[in-house]
Structure 1
Amino acid sequence: MNTAIDEVTNNYQDWSLDKLSYVDGLLTLNLKTYIKGDDPVRFMIVFTNTVLFETYDESTHFHDYHQNRDSGVIGVYSDSSLLEYAQTKTNTFSLNNNKLFHYSVMTTNEIIHVLTNIEPQVINVT
């Protein structure tokens, strides 16, 4: 999933997670990079109707986080064990009209996995 974030730099290792906030299904991630010098470039990623999210250290998830994922700092998975788990072991799919998507946001230190039925909003807040 290519977004305005990737126009600044599509190397996820250039980005860091500045802040994560979650309240009642609203997940907000603030990312920043110093790729353009001393002044940071900042983006806010907003997930509405977040059904599930998980945060991992990049190194603990290294072997398979690109599998079935499209390109970009924010990626959507065509298939994943997390989606399979949600579909077969929980009732989240039926509560969301059988339409959930698995996104991940990758930064230099974290990978944030998100299940939602709405595409995230990406806002340049520099």
Structure 2
Amino acid sequence: MRGALGNSMNSAIDDISEDYQDWGLDNLSYKDGLLTLNLVTYIKGDDPIRFIVVFTDTVFFESYDESSHFQDYHLNRSSGVIGVYTASSLLEYAKTKTNVMCLSNDKLSHYSVMTTNEIIHVLTRTEPVVVNVT
């Protein structure tokens, strides 16, 4: 993984393909702040390439269909399948309308993981871990 919390987020996923439409969400699991996303691509033929993206300190997440938020999902977002936002309406909402920031010491970052069918937004205090499990 290359990058640092709050800056650009590039990962080994982008070394395979930076085009989020090449990737699919195979599985999502969440329990007690641990969000695990299993991503898969078949761009190299019949043999799948699989990655696990783990957020170990998830404060908030939401998942929705990629086409339902088409207009501004790249606004203030770094490039790549996993992106970090320098500013976002979701982060602003968490800061002003919820008690999340009081509980998080104002150190939340907003990431999104984009695949061909889903976008998963995550507010967290830690950078995600990306593991190739192919």
Shorter-chain TM-score bucket reads over 0.9
The 2-side partners of 1:65 and 1:85 are apart by 16
Deviation at 1:25, TM superposition (A): 0.4
Residue 124 (structure 2) aligns with: 116
Match of 2:100 among 89, 92, 95: 92
Identity across matched positions, percent:
74
Residues 1-126 of structure 1 aligned to structure 2 (within 5 Å): 1-126=9-134
Task: Output the CA distance in 2 between the equivalents of 1:76 and 1:9.
Answer: 17
**TM value normalised by structure 2:** 0.93
Runs of at least 5 residues in structure 2 that lack an aligned partner in the other structure? 1-8
Residue 49 (structure 1) shift:
1.2
TM-score normalized by the length of structure 1: 0.99
Count, aligned residues: 126
2:5 paired residue number: none
How big is the shift at 1:91? 1.0
Q: State the SS of the aligned residue for 2:10.
A: coil
Task: Give the deviation of 1:94 after TM superposition.
Answer: 1.4
> How far off its partner does 1:56 sit?
1.1
RMSD: 0.5
Q: Flag as ranges the 4+ runs of structure 1 deviating above 2 A.
A: none
